[in-house]
Amino acid sequence: MSIFRTHILIPVDENTVQSGVFEVKRQLEKELLLRNLEGEIKVLETGTVGIIGKGVILVVFPERMYYTQVKVGDLPRIVEEHLIKGRVVKDLKHFTLDLQSGMKDFHELGPTRRQDRIVLDRSWKMDPENIEEVLAAGGYRGLEKILSAPLSPEAVIEEVKKSGLRGRGGAGFPTGMKWEFTRKAAGDEKYVICNADEGEPGTFKDRLILEGDPHRLIEAMEIAGYAIGSRKGYVYIRGEYNLSIRRMQKAIDQAREYNLLGGNILETPFSFDLEIKKGAGAYICGEETALIESLEGKRGNPRLKPPYPVTHGLWQKPTLVNNVETLANVPEILFHGSAWFRKFGTDKCPGTKVFTILGHVEYPGLIEVPMGTPLREIIFSYGGGVKEGKRFKAALLGGAAGVFLPEKLLDVPMDLESLKENKAVLGSGAILVMNEDTSILDMLFSILKFFAHESCGQCSPCRIGTRQLVDLAYKIREGRGAEGDLNMMVNLSQTMFSTSLCPLGQSLIMPVRSAVENFRDEILTPMKPS
């Protein structure tokens, strides 16, 4: 094996791909070849570093120097100045970062601030398409631990229960309990499904986990399969996520080759196999029963619950459906133990959470911090505050099925319990920041249009209700509304909450009520004669 004096990591995710990362990589390799540096300097593709919207990024190790917005034209200087002469190219955008200690921060602001990473810990340090690097970075050690001990399935479930891990898809159901229900459900044939149908507007955490560390999900699903007594799993990925599908398939193939997936895994009696199913563009399929219908090859119409998937899921067999981020925590919990996991986050909501910070902020991106981190810190320290020095008006938390949070609630800790106390939701972890110039009514209108488009049409409250809400909001927006219309919107979404079949129709009350309660005067403004 050759030793390289310098490694250059190039994060490849959908964001950098659209900035031309492959061309930069090709030219960089050419440049190195030209100067006979190919034996000294290694160029590696990795998963995301969590810096979004800053173009192509190069990370130079061991200095941990980050260059952002890198263009092909910058490469000769980076090679000449930095790689040969050892001088930082100061006029290019750069910073250093140490995710583990946070000591070498150049900035207190932005995505380089200290983070505690569990699910995204590995993704930026290795090539996700190379299983040997994944193994060297600690891949499959959770699975290896339980299979070699061997730990009984019950003991695995107990450990997950003790960790206090709760579903990261939005509902926050205790993961260990879900596993236990599925294990105890009658039947020999059981399934594990990874819900990677990430469609909540403003959310892309699952995509970056899939792109950056697909082996982590394979390992997690195997552990889940072992715990509940299943031999077969499905990863249901959104049809639009091309890179995720490609990397996941590659990971599955490699894992099979290394006897980490398939029959008699690691020469133990445990067998488990995985298959990718590709979605075809339907927001509703993120709902677990709709997802199951879609997996069976049908329209994604949600089922009436109960019975729940834990007893009657895929082909009416007991089925465990877990979100990507939830599963991504599992290998670390098993490897380090539940006590370690509980060191992060709050008592009722342990662990970390991946947040996507978007909209009018200085540094849009993705961070992983302990549950309970105050919203103000996330927006103003990690997100760098409101762009162009404007004033903060509101944050939409949790995507379209989320709430508008006013300035007075900025200090709320971001965990399931604290948010619930403040009539808000964590949802998927999307934080959309809006500046003083934003019209709340306009944003609400956009949300309502989204729901009207995505309603599956199966039940009338949702099919008709979403349409009526769009019409009411339109009327108000055009200045033809009255205060009564606003009250009707709240009443209607309340009725939809009580009568809709699935969470889609039930969740419109969140954005509607929070917008009306917190921004009533503003929404009423167009109604007042000018």
Partner 1 sequence: MTPQDIIQQYDRSPDNLLSILHDLQDADEHHYLPEQNLRRTAQYLGLPLSFVYGVATFYTMFSLKPRGRYIIRICQSPPCHLMGATTIVRELMKLLGIHLGETTRDDFFTLEMSSCLGVCGVAPAMMVNDEVFGNLTSERIREILEEKRRGA
Which residues on neighbouring strands pair with residue 191, listed in sequence order? 232, 319
Instruction: Lay out the site mask for partner 1 across 33-72 (x = CB under 8 A, - = otherwise).
Output: -------------------xx-------------------
Nearer to partner 1 (CB atom), residue 381 or residue 418:
381
Q: Which is nearer to partner 1, 182 or 438 (CB)?
A: 438
Q: Does 73 participate in binding partner 1 (rule CB under 8 A)?
A: no
Q: Running DSSP on this structure, what letter comes out for residue 113? A: S
Name residues contacting partner 1, limited to 185-224 (CB under 8 A). Answer: 198-204, 207
From residue 408 to residue 437, the character string flagging contacts with partner 1 as x (rule: CB under 8 A) and all else as - is: ----------------------x-x-x---
The backbone torsions φ and ψ at residue 524, rounded to the nearest 5 degrees and listed phi first, read -75, -15
Which one, 66 or 283, has the nearer CB to partner 1?
A: 283
Using the rule CB under 8 A, give the single segment among 151-159, 177-185, 357-365, 465-473 that binds partner 1: 357-365
Residue 346 near residue 373, CB atoms below 8 Å: no
For residue 491, give both structure tokens.
Answer: 């009443």
Element containing residue 444 per DSSP (H, E)? helix 440-454
How far apart are CB 472 and partner 1 at their closest, in Å?
18
- Cβ of residue 238: shortest distance to partner 1, in angstroms? 8
Positions 246 through 305 that interact with partner 1 (CB under 8 A):
277-283, 294-300
Q: Where are the beta strands (DSSP E) in 300-417?
A: 319-323, 352-359, 365-370, 392-397, 403-406
Nearest distance from C-beta of residue 122 to partner 1, angstroms:
21
The CA-to-CA distance between both ends of the chain, in Å, stands at 76
Q: Are 175 and 212 in contact (CB under 8 A)?
A: no
- The answer to whether the CB of 223 falls within 8 A of the CB of 333 is no
In the complex, least distance from residue 428 CB atom to partner 1, rounded to whole angstroms = 11
The torsion of the CA quartet 506, 508, 451, 244, rounded to 10 degrees, works out to: -80
Closest listed residue to residue 134, CA positions, set 266, 331, 325, 321:
331
Stretch binding partner 1 (CB under 8 A), from 31-39, 82-90, 225-233, 362-370: 362-370
242 or 498: CB nearest partner 1? 242
Which lies closer to partner 1 via its Cβ, residue 296 or residue 421? 296
DSSP state of 110: G
| Residue whose CB is less far from partner 1, 320 or 432 | 432
Q: Which part of the chain contacts partner 1 (CB under 8 A), choosing from 13-21, 27-35, 142-150, 342-350? A: 13-21
Shortest Å distance, C-beta 131 to partner 1: 25
Residue 95's closest CA among 73, 112, 114? 112
Based on the number of CB atoms within 10 Å of its own CB, is 437 exposed (0-12), middle (13-18) or buried (19 or more)?
A: exposed
Helix (H) or strand (E) holding 464: helix 460-477
CB 226 within 8 A of CB 270: yes
Binder of partner 1 out of 124, 179, 241, 519 (CB under 8 A): 241
d(CA 416, CA 204): 19
The answer to the question of residue 11 lying near partner 1 (CB under 8 A) is no
In angstroms, what is the minimal distance from the CB of 523 to partner 1?
16
Cα 462 to Cα 30, 33, 455, 509: the distances in Å are 56, 60, 7, 12
Name the residue nearer to partner 1 (CB basis): 66 or 226. Answer: 66
Strands 232-237 and 365-370: unpaired
Q: Which is nearer to partner 1, 359 or 505 (CB)?
A: 359
The residues in 432-461 that bind partner 1, with binding defined as CB under 8 A, are: 432, 434, 438, 442-443, 446-447, 449-450, 453-454, 456
CA 129 remoteness from chain centre: 20
Q: To the nearest whole angstrom, how small is the minimum distance from the Cβ of residue 306 to partner 1?
A: 23
Shortest separation between residue 124's beta carbon and partner 1, angstroms: 15
* DSSP β-ladder status, 232-237 and 191-196: parallel
Q: How far apart are CA 467 and CA 119, in angstroms?
A: 39
Cβ distance to partner 1 smaller for residue 295 or 321? 295
Rounded CA-CA distance 219/227 in Å is: 12
How near is the Cβ of 292 to partner 1 at its closest, in Å? 10
- Give whichever of 212 and 350 is closer to partner 1, judged by the CB atom: 212
Shortest gap between Cβ of 15 and partner 1 (angstroms)? 6
Burial grade of 80 (CB within 10 A; 0-12, 13-18, 19 or more): middle
Whether cis (ω within 30° of 0) applies to the bond prior to 331 is no
* Edge-to-edge strand list for the sheet holding 273-278: 273-278, 232-237, 191-196, 319-323
- Min separation Cβ 494 and partner 1, Å: 22
Pick the closer one to partner 1 by CB: 131 or 433: 433
Binding mask 157-186 vs partner 1 (x if CB under 8 A, - otherwise)?
------------------------------
How many chain residues touch partner 1 (CB under 8 A)?
Answer: 56
Q: How many CB atoms lie within 10 A of CB 441?
A: 21
Residues that bind partner 1 (CB under 8 A): 14-15, 17-18, 52-53, 198-204, 207, 238-242, 277-283, 294-300, 356, 358-360, 364-366, 396, 399-400, 430, 432, 434, 438, 442-443, 446-447, 449-450, 453-454, 456
